[in-house]
Amino acid sequence: MPSAIMPGAEPFSAAGGPVGALLVHGFCGSPFSMRRTAERLADRGLTVEAPLLPGHGTAIEDLVPLGWSDWSSAVEEVYLGLRARCSRVAVVGHSMGGTLACWLAERHPCLRGIAVVNPLVQPFDGELRAGARMLLEGGIAIWKGEPPDTADPTASFPTYDGTPLAAFVSLDEGVEEVASGLDRITCPVLCISSRKDHVVPPANGDLLVSSAGGPSERVWIERSYHNAMVDFDHEEVERRIEAFVVSVTSEPGEEET
């Protein structure tokens, strides 16, 4: 049985009108990072879901046996539930959540748009992948990593203090699948990238906007690192995502000024 949910890591859900938004957090993260954006969209009358992905927001041991198929199937289930209630749906994702947003857009062309923040869409380099597999073969299940990548030293949010290596390897395999299908994304894309990201290189955003088959907008933020949803620029990020989601999900004449 999974451990208790960390304070602040709870999923977010809000019933609204016929427009839906799905917000997806990153690897080892939780809906905490998406909550302010979720609340803004709910205040605009959208039906909003920000799920807690399997193995996340509890104890790191819960994530150890899980992988890409668990997270992608969970996200698709929430998306299909939203789609059953809403005529128009957009997806927002940070980091691995951006990977999952792209995966959904590749599979569901009726998506109205995706807004991704520091998305992971390029497989990790070969040395890193080989190192993770070597550690796994040596019996190391969890790698104790660096502190969360934020420029704001006061930023605090629920996360794990290590990386489950098997889950990491599975994520990389999922990224390979997504990277091979980026040209199938035909909906509008908003890609928000930190100039300095020590986790996911900005080249990932370059690949997404150059490969996606639909219209893409690239926005750079200057003061935040990888965890931009909780860093210095979070208000700008939230504002831009809100404007994008409202725009792509509006019918002619509906969008508020």
- Using CA atoms, how far residue 135 sits from 18, 63, 128, 143, 168, in Å, is 48, 17, 11, 9, 12
Q: Please give the Cα distance from 145 to 33 (Å, whole number).
A: 20
Q: Of 30, 94, 172, 197, which residue is the catalytic one?
A: 197
For the chain, how long is the longest CA-to-CA vector? Answer: 60
Looking up tokens 């190391």 gives 140
> Would you state the structure tokens that stand for residue 136, as one six-digit string?
């796994």
Question: Beta strand 47-50 with 12-14: parallel, antiparallel or unpaired?
Answer: antiparallel
* 197 in catalytic set: yes
Question: For the chain, how big is the Rg over CA atoms in Å?
Answer: 17
* 94 in catalytic set: no
Q: Of 25, 56, 94, 226, which residue is the catalytic one?
A: 226
Alpha helices (runs of H) in the chain, residue ranges in sequence order = 35-43, 60-63, 68-85, 96-107, 126-137, 165-179, 203-211, 234-249
Q: Of 95, 193, 194, 224, which residue is the catalytic one?
A: 95
Query: What's the one-letter identity of residue 223?
Result: R
Residue positions annotated with a catalytic role: 95, 197, 226
